[in-house]
Structures are given as structure tokens and as C-alpha cells.
Amino acid sequence: MRPNFVSLVCLFALAAALNAGYIGVGVNGTCEVGSCTPTPIPFNSTESLPFDFTFALPDGDMYLIYGAFTGTNDSNGAGSYNTYAFEVTYEGNATGGPSAADTITVQRDAAFQTSIGSADFYTTFVGAFSPGIAASSSASTCFDGTLACLGPAAPPGSFHQNSATYPITEVNGTFLDDKTFTSNFGAGSPVGSYIVWGQTVPVPVPTPEPLSLGLLPLGLGGIIVLRARLRRAA
């Protein structure tokens, strides 16, 4: 478990704040970072939302959730797409023991400006399990709740699958792109067990850095962060 500490706002947190309106991150039905009713990503632009926080379950088990979602739009929305790389890691509980049977469902909320009525899309299911995670663990994903569902995959090792192609229809000039990533940690998973999404190797843990003094004239030096990452309770 990484220690909490008082520091100046880091560049990681600043990037999250600047892009928070275009992408949202929810966990088990609670919006945690960004906007879960996002502003559509404009034409010919890319937006990225980094995130890094600990989520506490009612049973006392704690999970570190960190990484980034990125959305890219083209000139009319037909070629818009999202990419992702994040990790869900079991950090332990009050006794420092292994996990219970826990479910962490991360939802990415995103939207794209479009000038066309419909487009075909597919979604990907890519990731890996840490060595030693309980054999009863699993991972699965769905688009818009029930479309293009893939998995479940089970340990050991990695998973990689693409969905079939599905049509999506614009709503008020917007393509909605909501996707869920469900990480089931089997009972008995040791501290440090993880499920990584979007790639098959662990995501480096972001290291907060003090903001450069050169940015103080811009008025950013007065912003402080009391903790290196948020703590939430579900």
C-alpha cells in the first residue's frame, strides 16, 4: 500500500483536472473521477483522463485503481475511438490478509461529437492477471451495459479478444461510448494481486512530483493536494 503524504499539486493531477469534463470514471456505480455525464469530445481532438485512487469495499478490502482513458475524434465522428490502460490492484484490509470474493466494476463514460447518423463499432477485451491471484478470479467487459460483451476470462495469464461489429446511432449529435470493465477477485487473493486492462504487463504506478516553480506565476502554485490520491468508500 502506498503511503499518503502532503505535497504540492503534481502534474498528473493537473492533467486530470484539465480534461475532467470529457471522460468519466465510475466504480461500482459511483462516479469517482471526471464527468460521468461527459461533454462530447470535439472534432479533430484527443482528450485523456489519468486517474489514481483507492476504493474501499464494504467488507474492508481496498483496491488501488489507476491508469488513463483516452478518446480521439476525427472530422465527423465516424472514426472516433477510445483507448485504455489501467490496473486494479488489491491493497489489503485492516488485518493485512487476503481478499474476500470481491467485484470491482470500472465504467468509462465518454461521448463524441458527430455529424453522421450512425456508425459501426467494435470493442476490445485485453488484459492480464497477476501471478498468484486466486484461481476463481475473472474478468469481463461490456459496451453500453449489454452490447458486445466479452469474457469472462480466468487466470492464469493474459486475455485478448475483439467483439463483432455493432451499429451505434447518434443521440443529439453525439455518439455515446460507455464501457464497463468487471474485475472479480477470488477469495484468498493475496495483497498485490492485480488485473490489468488494455495491455498485458503491469501499468507503472504514477509518482507525484512537485509542480515546477516556473508555473507559480500562472497562479497554479497556490493549489495544494492534501493527499497523493483520493480515498473513497462504497
What is the Cα–Cα distance from 108 to 81, expressed in whole angstroms?
13
The mean-pLDDT minimum among 4-8, 57-61, 120-124 falls in: 4-8
Check residue 40 and give its pLDDT. Answer: 97
Please give the average per-residue pLDDT across 11-27, as a whole number: 67
Check residue 149 and give its pLDDT. Answer: 94
Confidence of residue 208 (pLDDT cuts 50, 70, 90): low
pTM of the model: 0.82
Helices (H), the chain: 11-18
Check residue 206 and give its pLDDT. Answer: 77
Q: Write out pLDDT tens, residues 149-199.
A: 999 999 999 999 999 888 899 999 999 999 999 999 999 999 999 999 999
pLDDT at 215 over 80: no
Confidence of residue 144 (pLDDT cuts 50, 70, 90): confident
**C-alpha cell of 72?**
480521439
Please give the average per-residue pLDDT across 25-43, as a whole number: 97
Place of cell 488485518: 95
pLDDT at 224 over 90: no
Provide the mean pLDDT of the chain: 85
Q: Write out pLDDT tens, residues 91-143.
A: 999 999 999 999 999 999 999 999 999 999 889 999 999 999 999 999 999 98
What is the Cα–Cα distance from 67 to 46, expressed in whole angstroms?
17
Angle at CA of residue 71, ends 123 and 52, nearest 5°: 100
All residues at 6 or more sequence positions from 97 whose CB lies less than 8 Å from its CB, including other chains? 191
C-alpha dist (Å) from residue 60 to 54, 193, 201, 233? 12, 16, 27, 9
Check residue 46 and give its pLDDT. Answer: 97
pLDDT at 8 over 50: no
Q: Which residues pair with 168 in a beta bridge?
A: 119
pLDDT at 230 over 60: no
Residues 117-150: b if buried by 16+ CB within 10 A, e if exposed: eebebebbbbbbbbeebbeebbbbbbbeeeebbb
Please give the average per-residue pLDDT across 6-25, as a whole number: 56
* Domain map (residue ranges) of the chain: 7-233
pLDDT at 26 over 70: yes
Confidence of residue 7 (pLDDT cuts 50, 70, 90): very low
